[in-house]
């Protein structure tokens, strides 16, 4: 029987395939009920091994388990694809705040974790009270600023770590992953550039 | 409604952090090392003592004086394969189990982790058996695996045997991650594999080579190293279930520290010897020391040991002396040397030259002459081959020929040594013999004592 941590990791990766499939034009023309059937069927398909390897298992070898934050964003994006009439779950301000947070975390984590200098911030993910307090303060500050996506992402990641939903014992792996970090850095750069250009024109 | 949503989210945030802080408050470990159990020397087993060897390992005339034993065997038996990266662990009954990887070539999909057992009393190695491979690991880990390598065995605190090995899904060895399997029956059967998550960057580039050690609180220290973008040595700390609970960087990237070997000298002091993979022309083993039980590690220092960017091994004897085996040369891996330090690693001297083929590097030997040398080396590497006729030797020779002549000359390689001391005081060394076989050298305490007395 597959361990829960494997199932959790593979489900997150299955969302990537489902989101890609949901972008196909014919899916957009399906009724809501058929879209849901499409997603459930697609989930089963990407989890079923073909010649000993499922699409989710293959992707897991390439990128590892996605963070809880990635899963939250993928699930939100998939919901938007399936139910476009409902409108976006989070507005630009919410998304911008989360992307800024993720970009900051990525810049703080990856260069040092890959060997720049003697200190490794990844170490703080192993049960550091300091990291938890910092994240708690950040989540509370975001709530006070009427943000919901950022505190929700942080709280979900911390909960996932508390219940050991993934193989990793390190909190950083629940908050952030490399593909998400690249996406956040790219998107934040675009947002900042747009703001700078708009400011110049004004 | 909006206020209600915010209050719900606030409650969730507070609950999440309460749970997390509760978990983190129980995340506890201490510094200080646990010393390995002392050697209990038994009466020497009834096997003929040996043997004064020539520098190339050839048998000389029967010894007039009993000097103890330094004897060699081939631990692996598969032919026409690439074989590399051995490690050893003592079994409960005093025999020794070796692990290595073997396949059509290093990194090939058919590479498997293999094992055999050395029976000390009978003085023979068992037949080689496959422990695991790429497909089995892929099925167990539920992730695509392209290749496996570098097995390192350890005896866990609960008595189980643990085997760490690396797997790669994408790219070269720098993309490695560590997998753990465990055995409750001395390596006959193994658990499903478990992935150690050790790096935030798609969990790549944590490799294992050195022997694990224990902290005083029963947690295990696993010396590992990182190779992606930059190279540096680290220690993973595992709890008694094999979960990673801490990771400690030993040197900043760019210092070229690889494949750390941890030598626990007493509960507070330890020395780490690292393969040097940096850019300095003068390549020397890099040492890193601690005097507070591993809480802090001092800055890396160049030792006096030569190191041509090759793995080394070492252990601490009961009297505090250090033994190391490495390629004591500036370039290449054509020789292997047993070295001793009586001053905690400050200075080293050679006790014995285990292999010496440096002289042939530029000799431009003809193929037949080269194969004569290989045949001679094979005969000196195993008692069975010593007595074997030409036909029996032919398969071994053909296997070795593939590797030795691979680069268009007569090239020898003795690499990836791994040392342990068993409870009876014997020293066991395993290393890669020309990427063809795993060679095992057993050194008994009598031989060692004589060499310690003889050496200047």
Q: For residues A75-82, give the mean pLDDT.
A: 92
Q: Mean pLDDT lowest for which of B47-51, B69-73, B114-118, B315-319?
A: B47-51
pLDDT in tens, B243-286: 999 999 999 998 899 999 999 999 999 999 999 999 999 999 99
Please answer yes or no on whether A126 and B244 come within 8 Å at the CB atom. Answer: yes
Query: Between residues B237 and B454, which one has the greater pLDDT?
Result: B237
For helices A4-22 and A68-82, what crossing angle results, to 10°?
40
* pLDDT surpasses 90 at B44: no
Nearest to B252 among A57, A117, A146 (CB): A117
Please answer yes or no on whether A113 and B145 come within 8 Å at the CB atom. Answer: no
Four-residue CA torsion sign, A163, A168, A173, A179:
negative
Please answer yes or no on whether B6 and A143 come within 8 Å at the CB atom. Answer: yes
Among A50, A52, A120, A175, most B C-beta atoms within 10 A, so best to mutate, is A120
* pLDDT surpasses 70 at B98: yes
* pLDDT surpasses 80 at B52: no
Please answer yes or no on whether B9 and A143 come within 8 Å at the CB atom. Answer: yes
Q: B345: alpha, beta or left, given left = phi > 0 and alpha = psi -120 to 50?
A: left
**Residue B64: predicted pLDDT:** 47
Mean pLDDT for all residues in chain A = 95
* pLDDT surpasses 90 at B117: yes
ipTM topping 0.85: yes
Four-residue CA torsion sign, B208, B213, B219, B223:
negative
* pLDDT surpasses 80 at B1: no
**Residue B455: predicted pLDDT:** 58
Minimum CA–CA partner of A154 in chain B:
B13
pLDDT band for position B66 (cuts 50, 70, 90): low
Query: Between residues B56 and A172, which one has the greater pLDDT?
Result: A172
Minimum CA–CA partner of B7 in chain A:
A143
User: Which residues from A are below 8 Å from B12, CB to CB?
Assistant: 152, 155
DSSP string of A96-128? HHHHHHHHHHHHHHHHHHTTSSS--GGGGGTT-
Q: For residues B281-306, give the mean pLDDT.
A: 96
Residues in chain A: 202
User: Which residues from A are below 8 Å from B24, CB to CB?
Assistant: 127-129, 132
Interface of A with B in 119-138 (CB under 8 A): 119-120, 122-123, 125-129, 132, 135-136
Residue A84 touches partner B, C-beta closer than 8 Å:
no
User: Are A83 and A76 a contacting pair, CB within 8 Å?
Assistant: no
**Residue B65: predicted pLDDT:** 58
Tell me how far apart the alpha carbons of residues A47 and B343 are, in angstroms, rounded to a whole number.
59
**Residue A1: predicted pLDDT:** 84
Mean pLDDT for all residues in chain B = 92
> What is the rounded end-to-end Cα distance, in angstroms, of chain A?
61
The verdict on whether omega for the bond into residue B197 sits within 30 degrees of 0, i.e. cis, is no
Q: B354: alpha, beta or left, given left = phi > 0 and alpha = psi -120 to 50?
A: alpha
* pLDDT surpasses 90 at A138: yes
- Would you tell me how many other CB atoms lie within 10 Å of the CB of residue B40? 9
Could you tell me the residue ranges of all domains in chain A?
Answer: 1-65, 89-202
Query: Residue B324, SS3?
Result: strand
DSSP B309: S
* pLDDT surpasses 50 at B54: no
User: Which residues from A are below 8 Å from B249, CB to CB?
Assistant: 118-120, 123
User: Which residues from A are below 8 Å from B251, CB to CB?
Assistant: 118
DSSP string of B120-188? TTTTEEPPPEEEEEHHHHHHHHTS---EEEEEEEEE-TTS-EEEEEEEESSSSGGGEEEEEEEESSTTS
**Residue B441: predicted pLDDT:** 98
* pLDDT surpasses 70 at B173: yes
User: Are B372 and B396 a contacting pair, CB within 8 Å?
Assistant: no
* pLDDT surpasses 50 at B58: no
* pLDDT surpasses 80 at B57: no
**Beta strands B33-34 and B213-215, pairing class:** antiparallel
pTM: 0.94
Over pLDDT 70: what percentage of chain B? 94
Q: Name residue B183's beta-bridge partners.
A: B161
Looking at CA atoms only, how far is residue B26 from chain A in angstroms?
9
**Residue B55: predicted pLDDT:** 41
Q: For residues B159-169, give the mean pLDDT.
A: 97
pLDDT in tens, B352-400: 999 999 888 777 788 999 999 999 999 999 999 999 999 989 999 999 9
Four-residue CA torsion sign, A108, A111, A117, A122:
positive
* pLDDT surpasses 90 at B56: no
**Residue B360: predicted pLDDT:** 80
Minimum CA–CA partner of B168 in chain A:
A61
* pLDDT surpasses 70 at B42: no
* pLDDT surpasses 50 at B224: yes
**B134, burial (CB in 10 Å: exposed 0-12, middle 13-18, buried 19+):** buried
**Residue B245: predicted pLDDT:** 98
Q: For residues B200-218, give the mean pLDDT.
A: 96
Q: A87: alpha, beta or left, given left = phi > 0 and alpha = psi -120 to 50?
A: left
Residue A115 touches partner B, C-beta closer than 8 Å:
yes
**Residue B359: predicted pLDDT:** 80
Please answer yes or no on whether A122 and B200 come within 8 Å at the CB atom. Answer: yes
pLDDT band for position A201 (cuts 50, 70, 90): confident
């Amino acid at each position: 029987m597959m361990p829960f941590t494997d199932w959790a990791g593979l489900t997150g990766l299955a969302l990537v395939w489902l989101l890609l499939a949901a972008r196909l034009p014919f899916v957009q023309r399906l009724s809501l009920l058929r879209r849901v059937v499409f997603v459930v069927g697609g989930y089963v398909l990407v989890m079923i091994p073909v010649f000993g390897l499922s699409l989710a298992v293959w992707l897991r070898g390439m990128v590892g388990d996605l963070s809880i934050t990635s899963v939250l964003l993928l699930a939100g994006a998939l919901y938007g694809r399936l139910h476009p009439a409902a409108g976006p779950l989070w507005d630009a301000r919410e998304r911008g705040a989360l992307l800024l947070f993720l970009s900051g975390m990525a810049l703080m984590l990856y260069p040092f974790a890959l060997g720049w200098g003697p200190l490794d911030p990844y170490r703080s993910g192993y049960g550091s009270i300091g990291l938890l307090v910092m994240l708690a303060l950040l989540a509370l500050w975001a709530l006070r600023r009427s943000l919901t996506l950022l505190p929700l992402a942080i709280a979900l990641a911390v909960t996932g770590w508390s219940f050991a939903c993934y193989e990793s014992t390190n909190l950083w792996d629940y908050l952030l992953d490399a593909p998400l970090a690249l996406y956040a850095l790219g998107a934040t750069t675009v947002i900042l550039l747009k703001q700078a250009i708009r400011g110049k024109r004004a | 409604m909006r206020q209600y949503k915010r209050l719900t989210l606030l409650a969730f945030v507070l609950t999440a952090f309460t749970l997390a802080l509760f978990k983190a408050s129980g995340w506890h470990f201490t510094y200080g090392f646990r010393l390995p159990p002392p050697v209990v020397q038994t009466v020497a087993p009834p096997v003929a003592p040996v043997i004064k060897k020539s520098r190339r390992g050839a048998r000389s005339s029967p010894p007039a004086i009993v000097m103890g034993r330094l004897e060699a065997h081939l631990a692996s038996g598969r032919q026409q394969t690439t074989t590399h990266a051995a490690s050893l662990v003592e079994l409960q009954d005093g025999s020794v189990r070796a692990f290595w990887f073997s396949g059509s070539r290093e990194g090939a999909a058919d590479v498997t982790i293999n094992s055999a057992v050395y029976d000390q009393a009978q003085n023979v190695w068992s037949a080689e058996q496959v422990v695991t491979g790429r497909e089995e690991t892929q099925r167990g880990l539920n992730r695509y695996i392209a290749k496996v390598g570098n097995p390192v065995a350890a005896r866990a605190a609960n008595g189980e045997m643990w085997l760490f090995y690396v797997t790669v899904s994408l790219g070269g060895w720098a993309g490695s991650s560590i997998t753990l399997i465990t055995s409750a029956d001395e390596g006959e059967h193994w658990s499903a594999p478990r992935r150690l998550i050790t790096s935030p960057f798609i969990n790549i580039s944590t490799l294992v080579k050195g022997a694990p050690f224990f902290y005083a609180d029963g947690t295990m220290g696993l010396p590992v190293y990182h190779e992606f973008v930059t190279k540096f040595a680290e220690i993973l700390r595992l709890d008694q279930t094999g979960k990673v609970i801490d990771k400690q960087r030993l040197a900043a990237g760019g210092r070229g520290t690889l494949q750390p070997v941890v030598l626990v000298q007493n509960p507070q002091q330890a020395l780490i010897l690292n393969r040097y993979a940096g850019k300095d022309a003068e390549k020397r083993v890099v040492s890193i020391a601690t005097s507070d039980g591993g809480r802090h590690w001092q800055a890396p220092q160049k030792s006096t040991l030569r190191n041509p960017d090759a793995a080394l091994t070492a252990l601490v004897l009961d009297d505090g002396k250090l033994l190391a085996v490495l390629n004591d040369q500036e370039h290449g891996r054509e020789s292997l040397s047993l070295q001793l330090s009586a001053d905690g690693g400050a200075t080293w001297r050679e006790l014995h030259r285990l292999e010496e083929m440096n002289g042939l590097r530029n000799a431009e030997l003809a193929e037949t002459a080269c194969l004569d040398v290989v045949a001679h080396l094979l005969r000196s590497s195993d008692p069975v081959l010593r007595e074997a006729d030409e036909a029996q030797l032919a398969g071994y020779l053909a296997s070795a020929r593939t590797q030795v002549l691979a680069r268009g000359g007569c090239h020898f390689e003795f690499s990836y040594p791994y040392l342990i001391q068993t409870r009876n005081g014997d020293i066991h060394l395993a290393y890669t013999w020309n990427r063809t076989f795993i060679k095992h050298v057993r050194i008994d305490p009598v031989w060692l004592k004589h060499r310690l007395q003889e050496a200047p």
